[in-house]
Amino acid sequence: MIKKIPIGELKSGMYVHDVNCSWRSMPVFTFRHRMSDEKIIEKIRQLGIREIYIDTSLGDDLPGAPTEDEVRMELEGQMVGLADGDEVAFHHRLASQSELDHAWDIHRSASQLIQGIMTDVRMGRQIEFDTVHEALHNINGSVLSSFGALMQLGQLKSADDYTFQHCVGVSALLTAFGKGLELNRQTIHDVGIGALLHDIGKMQIPSEILNKPGRLTEIEFDEMKQHVVYGRNLIGDASWVSSTALQVLEQHHERYDGTGYPKGLKSSEISPMGQMAAIVDVYDAITAERVYHKGMMPADALRKLQEWSHFHFNEDLVRHFIRSLGIYPLRTVVRLESGGIGIVIDQNPADLLRPTLLMVSDDEKRLPLSPYRLDLSKATADRIITYEPPEKYHIDVDRYLATV
Ligand SMILES: [Fe+2]
């Protein structure tokens, strides 16, 4: 059985299933195994991990600790509670193929611009103001014209060129997050610039560490963390990079409970922009497809953020972020009380628990021949019970959405 325990309860003889910290490349000793060395337990604690999952079938148990299913149910309850907020929620709808193609073109050209900037940096050249602005201008256009398309792109990114695409993804999400929080135009512009440059210091990390397919050694992990300091040094005294943009770059790995890096700042020591950047950076990283692991579904990623928000992030900002993407983001597969299975195709900002679905089954066992739309805001007799992994019902989401 998989159970969640506080890190202080981790003892020799327990089997670590998941260090519950998938937002970063963790050192090799956090890989799944049975704990037998107090020094390793202490090292895991020092990483800032607060809660951990153990497998009680392979190691010692902690009686009374919640099971993985209990944790999931509790989180689902918390997510449903977020629907009651009165902060801004967006109306995301499924993008048309042409909107998607357009957003994809923008994303690709912005990624190429960032790749050019980073290559220049690696060669020791200056960062070009005009190129960064051109990339941001493109991203802003796509955030304004079709946020739905942008969200869908998150899952279409290719596994190559991860670092460049990640910068563009974080910039787009942070721009949208800023709009949702009704920040002023200049601030939104500055956080967008900061996001595009936030990982620029990675260009000074040796590529065998940056692109290492396996887990990093402790020394490599420490070197990887230096990318924030390297990034700050690369910006130097460039006057076009505002203090707001610098906050994004310098603080995107700081954590609300002081467990982040490079400075170990906590709560209000981290600027609001740094706190927002941390949330978005993690969301984009865990949903991305990588060469060696599959990206998380947005619904899973938002629940992980909610779980981690109790320690590592500003809970209010996580609530805003989740509401801005929807409790059940576009393309999420959900199960209804009636047993029906549907795919979220249109958000309902007035009630995030009642989006419009493309129904693909009227019960859990049979898939219907012709999918149909169901607007849950009108079908008041039914409701979403939970979201489901598409594989569980052998649902090819893309194939169904092509029929809409
Ligand atoms: Fe980073």
Can you give the CATH number for the domain in which 40 is found?
A: 3.90.105
Q: Which of 295, 325, 355 is the last residue of a domain?
A: 325
Whether 79 is covered by a domain: the verdict is no
318 and 250 in a common domain = yes
The pLDDT tens digits of the residues spanning 193-214 come to: 999 999 999 989 998 898 887 7
The pLDDT tens digits of the residues spanning 180-190 come to: 898 999 999 99
Give the number of domains in the chain: 3
Compare 67 and 44 and report the one with higher pLDDT. Answer: 67
181 and 127 in a common domain = yes
297 and 155 in a common domain = yes
Please give the distance, rounded to the nearest whole angstrom, from the Cα atom of residue 273 to the centre of ligand 1. 15
**What pTM did the predictor assign?**
0.90
pLDDT at residue 224 tops 90: yes
396 and 295 in a common domain = no
The set of residues, in sequence order, having a beta carbon less than 8 Å from that of 23 and lying 6+ positions away, is: 281, 282, 285, 286, 308
Average pLDDT of 267-287? 95
Please give the distance, rounded to the nearest whole angstrom, from the Cα atom of residue 307 to the centre of ligand 1. 21
Please give the distance, rounded to the nearest whole angstrom, from the Cα atom of residue 364 to the centre of ligand 1. 41
- Report the half-sphere exposure of 235 (CA within 13 A, side-chain side): 26
**CA nearest to 307, candidates 151, 84, 76, 41:** 76
161 and 197 in a common domain = yes
Please give the distance, rounded to the nearest whole angstrom, from the Cα atom of residue 88 to the centre of ligand 1. 28
How crowded is residue 300: how many other Cβ atoms within 10 Å of its Cβ?
16
Specify the 3-state DSSP secondary structure of 355.
coil
The set of residues, in sequence order, having a beta carbon less than 8 Å from that of 155 and lying 6+ positions away, is: 287, 289, 295, 297, 298, 331
Kindly report the length of the chain.
404
The pLDDT tens digits of the residues spanning 143-172 come to: 666 666 766 665 555 545 778 888 888 998
Quick one: angle between helices 272-287 and 162-180, nearest 10?
130
122 and 246 in a common domain = yes
**292 confidence band (pLDDT: 50, 70, 90):** low
Please give the distance, rounded to the nearest whole angstrom, from the Cα atom of residue 101 to the centre of ligand 1. 28
208 and 107 in a common domain = yes
Please give the distance, rounded to the nearest whole angstrom, from the Cα atom of residue 228 to the centre of ligand 1. 7
249 and 312 in a common domain = yes
Please give the distance, rounded to the nearest whole angstrom, from the Cα atom of residue 193 to the centre of ligand 1. 15
292 and 370 in a common domain = no
Helix (H) or strand (E) holding 139: helix 129-145
Please give the distance, rounded to the nearest whole angstrom, from the Cα atom of residue 309 to the centre of ligand 1. 19
Q: For residue 93, what is the DSSP state?
A: B
The pLDDT score that the predictor gives to residue 55 is 94
Q: Which domain holds residue 353?
A: 333-401
Please give the distance, rounded to the nearest whole angstrom, from the Cα atom of residue 198 to the centre of ligand 1. 6
- What tokens were used for 396? 């090819």
- Per DSSP, the residues of 24-52 read S--BGGGSSEE---HHHHHHHHHTT--EE
357 and 317 in a common domain = no
CA distance 56 to 205: 39
179 and 209 in a common domain = yes
How crowded is residue 134: how many other Cβ atoms within 10 Å of its Cβ?
14
The set of residues, in sequence order, having a beta carbon less than 8 Å from that of 234 and lying 6+ positions away, is: 121, 127, 200, 201, 203, 204
